[in-house]
Amino acid sequence: MYKILKAELIADKIYLMDVEAPRIAKYCEPGQFIIAKIDEVGERIPLTICDFDREKGIVTIVFQTVGASTERMAELKEGDFFRDFTGPLGQASEFVKDDLEEVKKRKYLFVAGGVGTAPVYPQVKWMHEHGIDVDVIVGAKTKDLIILEKEMEAVAGNLYVTTDDGSYGRSGMVTAVIEDLVQNQSKKYDVCVAIGPVIMMKFVCLLTKKLELPTIVSMNPIMVDGTGMCGACRITVGDEVKFACVDGPEFDGHLVHFDEAMKRQQMYKTQEGQALLRLREGDTHKGNCK
């Protein structure tokens, strides 16, 4: 059993939880994820690690309610427990394994979309702790969906916030900010790391390919089982077949077949919707919904 030390709503339908998990906190690195399970019959939910405190043995997760399981998770409060909290899983971000002096020579641009801000944060924090200033773009549909702004501001060299509807920060997509920084402000970057909705990462990569800017993406949004057994996160990277949960979740964005990945995502939408209806309607649910 894993105790929830903090549970709070940080934006519209987006929750943050601190979980007591000493072993995971001791070994996890930026880029990795955990699998949470509420109880014995609950669904296994893969979630990227947002933060960790090795001394206190705490792991922080952030999630958005999108289906029955995450709605149940949102009902958990401080003092409640997860039945299972497994990790760290997946591969750590490449820069963690690289020679630090080489990493310090590179100029990084991090691009976070929506809940993708959560997995971007520990990467930027790692850079900050190692004396590396990086530029960060955080984007969301509206002001109400911006998360971890203060936390990100404390570790980023420069932070650029943008909203699709212009309700906060700059107005427009994250791609517009990338273009402005590179083409209008003559910023030079060696690596771009983009994490967010699959469609966002696709268009970021289309742009950065034109800009000849190497780009890393995280395919955690397409994971289901998280152990390589279900096949839901099977993707094509270049001419190779990979599984996001065991081979990634981070890959060369210019080699990822995004359209294929999005089609695989759609295969699970109907099942998620039916499960959510069963949860909300209880005994009145008639089933067989199409």
Tell me the pLDDT tens digit for each residue of 210-227: 999 999 999 987 777 677
Which pair of structure tokens corresponds to residue 274? 């039916």
- Peptide bond before residue 88 is cis, with ω within 30 degrees of 0: yes
Instruction: Give the contacts of 28 (CB within 8 A, at least 6 positions apart).
Output: 34, 49, 52, 59, 87, 88
User: What are 119's two structure tokens?
Assistant: 């997995």
Where do you find CATH 3.40.50.80 in the chain? 94-218
- Topology (CATH) of 94-218: Rossmann fold (3.40.50)
φ and ψ at 246, to 5 degrees? Answer: -105, -35
pTM of the entire predicted model: 0.89
Q: Which amino acid is at 123?
A: Q
- What is the per-residue burial (b if ≥16 Cβ within 10 Å, else e) of 93-123? bebbeeeeeebeeeebbbbbbbbbbbbbbbb
pLDDT, tens only, 241-250: 998 888 999 9
Q: State the span(s) of the chain assigned CATH 2.40.30.10.
A: 2-89
Give the separation between CA 180 and CA 182, rounded to whole angstroms: 6
Confidence of residue 290 (pLDDT cuts 50, 70, 90): very low
The two tokens of residue 108 are 């990084």
pLDDT tens sequence across 30-79: 999 999 999 988 888 999 999 999 999 999 999 999 888 899 999 999 99
CB 121 within 8 A of CB 148: yes
pLDDT score, position 262:
85
Mean per-residue pLDDT over the chain, rounded: 91
- Here the tokens at position 62 are 């952030």
Q: Which CATH superfamily is domain 2-89 in?
A: Translation factors (2.40.30.10)
Q: What is the pLDDT of residues 172-219, one digit of tens each?
A: 999 999 999 999 999 999 999 999 999 999 999 999 999 999 999 999
d(CA 263, CA 265): 5
Between strands 58-64 and 2-11, the pairing is unpaired
Q: Is the pLDDT of residue 92 over 60?
A: yes
Beta strands in the chain (DSSP E): 2-11, 14-20, 33-37, 45-53, 58-64, 81-82, 84-89, 108-113, 135-140, 158-163, 170-171, 191-195, 215-218, 234-237, 240-243, 250-252
Element (H, E) at 210: helix 198-210
Cα 195–199–200 angle (5° rounding)? 45
According to DSSP, the β-strands at 33-37 and 45-53 are antiparallel
pLDDT: is 228 or 32 the higher one? 32
Distance CA 29, CA 284 (A): 45
